[in-house]
Chain A
Amino acid sequence: AQSVTQLGSHVSVSEGALVLLRCNYSSSVPPYLFWYVQYPNQGLQLLLKYTTGATLVKGINGFEAEFKKSETSFHLTKPSAHMSDAAEYFCAVYGQNFVFGPGTRLSVLP
């Protein structure tokens, strides 16, 4: 069975600061890992994914994440936050179906 935990239900950063959103997973099989973003009153949009190959994956809007098997982690980062990054972020793992974490709300302060 797969599961996902996201440390911090709410993260606040200043505009221009580093964004770090944490995700840890549990999976009995090699994991396929994903980050999605959800803006208010919208569906989820895929930011990036790890399936095989390079463990550092780059996504849209300047985000990237690194798969660390030894730490069972897939943290999401962005070097410089922008006001438009304010949204809800979900980490997910795919086994037989998608299992999502509880989400982290990112606030960006001017």
Chain B
Amino acid sequence: ETGVTQSPTHLIKTRGQQVTLRCSSQSGHNTVSWYQQALGQGPQFIFQYYREEENGRGNFPPRFSGLQFPNYSSELNVNALELDDSALYLCASSPGLAGGLTYEQYFGPGTRLTVT
């Protein structure tokens, strides 16, 4: 069983640019959530995708957008990057909404984004 993988591991972008981060969910999982973890803080919920549809969004502006593909992998896109977007971006997959009622989610190792 393959765990959650994310790419790239590190990324450096310039303010105003656009970035795409990728996540492959664990086998059998149809739900993917994205989180932003700023340095020294806990993860903050960005949004969740369930069966290719957005299902819930946190307090993030529209320049944060996402996609989920038929194989349940997912992308996080951020437009017009700002310095405050520098963070670790975590993807978590789960076997259905609310973790298939187990409320469990499995995290990838994250993508470290630095905006200069």
Interface pair B107/A45, CB less than 8 Å apart: yes
Q: What is the size, in residues, of chain B's interface with A at 8 Å between Cβ atoms?
A: 23
Instruction: Report the Cα distance A102→B44, complex, angstroms.
Output: 10
| Chain A contacts with B in 28-62, Cβ cutoff 8 A | 32, 34, 41-46, 49, 51
Q: How large is the interface on A (under 10, 10 to 19, 20 to 34, 35 or more residues)?
A: 20 to 34
- Chain B residues, CB < 8 A from A46: 104-106
Sample of 8 more A-B contacts, CB < 8 Å, known A43-B107, A100-B35, A102-B41:
A42-B109, A42-B110, A43-B90, A43-B109, A97-B48, A98-B33, A98-B105, A101-B42
Scan residues 42-56 of chain B and give those whose CB is less than 8 A from a CB of chain A. 42-45, 48, 56
Q: How far is the CB of B91 from chain A (nearest CB, A)?
A: 8
Query: Which residues of chain B are near A51, meaning CB under 8 Å?
Result: 103
Question: Cβ of A97: which chain B residues have Cβ within 8 Å of it?
Answer: 33, 45, 48, 56, 58
Is the Cβ of A100 less than 8 Å from the Cβ of B42?
yes
Instruction: Give the CA-CA distance A51 to B98 in the complex, in Å.
Output: 11
Interface centre among A4, A32, A42, A43 (most CB of B within 10 A): A43
> How far apart are the CA atoms of A101 and B22 in the complex, in Å?
25
Q: A100-B42, A100-B43, A101-B42 are in contact. Are A43 and B110 (CB under 8 A)?
A: yes
A32 near B58: Cβ-Cβ < 8 Å: no
A103–B107 Cα distance when bound, in Å, is 16
Set of chain B residues within 8 Å of A108, measured between Cβ atoms: none
Contacts of B103 in A (CB 8 A): 32, 34, 49, 51, 94
Q: Taking the nearest CB of chain A, how far is it from the CB of B29, in angstroms? A: 14
Contacts of B81 in A (CB 8 A): none
Chain B residue with Cβ nearest A50: B103
* Binary flags per residue of A1-24, CB closer than 8 Å to B gives 1, else 0: 000100001000000000000000
12 A-B pairs, CB-CB below 8 angstroms? A9-B40, A43-B108, A44-B107, A49-B104, A90-B42, A97-B48, A97-B58, A98-B35, A100-B35, A100-B43, A100-B44, A102-B41
A9, A45, A94, A97, most chain B CB atoms within 10 A: A97
